[in-house]
Amino acid sequence: MAANEERRVLRRLSSAPSECVFCKIASGDSPSYVVYEDDDYIAFLDKFPFSRGHTLVCPKKHGETIWDMGEAEIGGLFRTAARVSKAIVAAVDADGFRFVQNNGEAANQVVAHVHVHVIPVRLEERGRFNDRRVLSEDEMQSTAQGIRDRLAK
């Protein structure tokens, strides 16, 4: 690679915004358990969470990796994730949380739309990663409502 050539992130999962599942959620065209939304960002429960309360925070504007965002947008994304994380930890009575932000297929990014995972954890889970889970609709609804209630305070 030449010294002035920019390194690219492998993105075989690319999709047009009209086909992007997160863009469809942000526009209200796909169902989800939204816990927070403003003009620029949306947060919703992960469909297959690592733990109860696992939430995805993403910009409404389509971009595949964090390199597609400006510094102010990145700051807004992480400010939103920080705000939402406080509500999640309180709602699910967690002891801590993880931020995970993957870029490109090699980093395990599954949906080609920038997003931050906010994953609540308990002390007894320290040092390990859980498998993905399937929660009931009642569990998803009550968890989302608990997070929304705390964000409203």
The pLDDT tens digits of the residues spanning 62-84 come to: 999 999 999 999 999 999 999 99
**How high is the pLDDT of residue 124?**
82
CATH match of 21-152 with 3.40.1740.10: no
List Cα–Cα distances, 89 to 78, 136, 143, in angstroms: 16, 20, 11
Cβ-contact 68, 114 below 8 angstroms: yes
User: Confidence class of residue 97 from pLDDT cuts 50, 70 and 90?
Assistant: very high
The pTM score is 0.90
pLDDT tens readout for residues 3-28: 555 666 656 667 778 889 999 999 99
Residue 46 reports pLDDT greater than 80: yes
**How high is the pLDDT of residue 12?**
64
Mean residue pLDDT of the chain comes to 91
**How high is the pLDDT of residue 10?**
59
Residue 107 reports pLDDT greater than 60: yes
**How high is the pLDDT of residue 134?**
87
Residue 121 reports pLDDT greater than 90: yes
Other CB atoms within a 10 A radius of the CB of residue 6 amount to 7
Catalytic positions: 115
User: Each residue of 37-66: b (16+ CB within 10 Å) or e?
Assistant: eeeebbbbbbeebbbbbbbbbbbbebbbbb
Distance, CA of 62 to CA of 36 (rounded, Å): 18
**How high is the pLDDT of residue 13?**
66
**Residue, of 13 and 43, whose pLDDT is higher:** 43
